[in-house]
Structure 1
Amino acid sequence: MTTEPQDDWRQRLRGQGYRLTPQRELILAAVDALGHATPDEVHAEVRKSSSAVNVSTVYRTLEVLQELGLVRHTHLSDRAPTYHSVSDHEHFHLVCRNCGKVTSVDADVARGLVERLTADLGFVPDIGHLALHGHCADCG
């Protein structure tokens, strides 16, 4: 019998000494459902199911989930960080400055850049945290 990904994150949470709470489950489910979301957007999604979760709980829980490697964040705007689940493929983001469209791009696209930074500078970038800002094809 194989372990479901949902069970895996539950085991990771318990293995690090954290309790599995309904709020944590709701918050992780909201991140999964929204794809890319700020803490306030996660809070709004969670409140659809439970009014008992306040915004400070969302912020603290997102930090815990990130420490455990269950979510990542990047900065898609000057606003709060945007979180996404790691259950999706590793990717970086293209953000259109004009229309705000966010495109997820497979990490392999940046392989040449990563190899060059590592070889030339000894620097290993965190691609999942990367957001490149510019203009999409529609906005030119």
Structure 2
Amino acid sequence: MPVPQLADVLRAKGLRLTAQRQLVLEAVLELGHATPEQIHDKVVRTAAGVNITTIYRTLELLEGLGLVAHTHLGHGAPVYHGAGDRGHVHLVCHRCGKVDEVPPDVFGDVRDRLLAERGFLIDIGHVALFGMCSSCNEEEA
């Protein structure tokens, strides 16, 4: 999200745009799928004084504003990405850790069946499938 839009969203909530908020959002958008620690590593390259607590608080704020979203791609820390990217299914390689995405329609039949049979609507933004990416699969073969 460009900085003027971020400033507008913050201002509408009575908040101000700070360098830390801008840097955290830019890091999330640039990294794609990143843990708070990875975001911190990126931010401190520009602003050495930003601590990990600031990163967590800023991520919480940005998520509350609908600018970023998190998902859990395993047992570790949550992974953050731009909220506009929420409509996808995560494919996580359990060998190399690569995260890929596919459109949510991959789950179209499953989603429709669960809704029809159980009245359950799945949250595609929190779906992660674990397996082996094509590169690791080729190495293994």
| TM-score (norm: length of structure 2) | 0.86
- % same residue: 50
Instruction: Please state if 1:23 is matched with 2:56.
Output: no
Name 2:64's counterpart in structure 1.
67
Q: CA deviation at 1:6?
A: 4.1
Structure 1: which 5+ runs fail to align?
Answer: none
Q: Deviations over 1:28-62 (max 9, x none)?
A: 00011111110000001000110121100000110
Greater helix proportion: 2
Distance 2:2 2:84 in 1: 8
Aligned with residue 102 of structure 1, among 88, 99, 103: 99
RMSD over aligned Cα atoms: 1.9
Report if aligned partners of 2:69, 2:86 keep a CA contact under 8 Å in 1.
no
Instruction: Please state if 1:13 is matched with 2:10.
Output: yes
Mark the CA change 1:118 to 1:33 in structure 2 (over 3 Å): closer, same or farther: same
| TM-score (norm: length of structure 1) | 0.86
Q: CA deviation at 1:101?
A: 1.9
SS for the counterpart of 1:73 is strand
After TM superposition, the structure 1 stretch with the greater mean CA deviation from structure 2, 82-91 or 72-81, is 82-91
SS for the counterpart of 2:134 is coil
Instruction: Please state if 1:80 is matched with 2:77.
Output: yes
SS for the counterpart of 2:100 is strand
Q: CA deviation at 1:119?
A: 1.9
Distance 1:122 1:68 in 2: 29
Distance 2:32 2:12 in 1: 26
Distance 1:12 1:106 in 2: 27
Distance 1:138 1:51 in 2: 36
Structure 2: which 5+ runs fail to align?
Answer: none
Name 2:124's counterpart in structure 1.
127
Instruction: Tell me the matched-pair count.
Output: 137
Q: Deviations over 1:50-108 (max 9, x none)?
A: 01211000001101111111111111232110101124472120111122221111122
Mark the CA change 1:9 to 1:113 in structure 2 (over 3 Å): closer, same or farther: farther
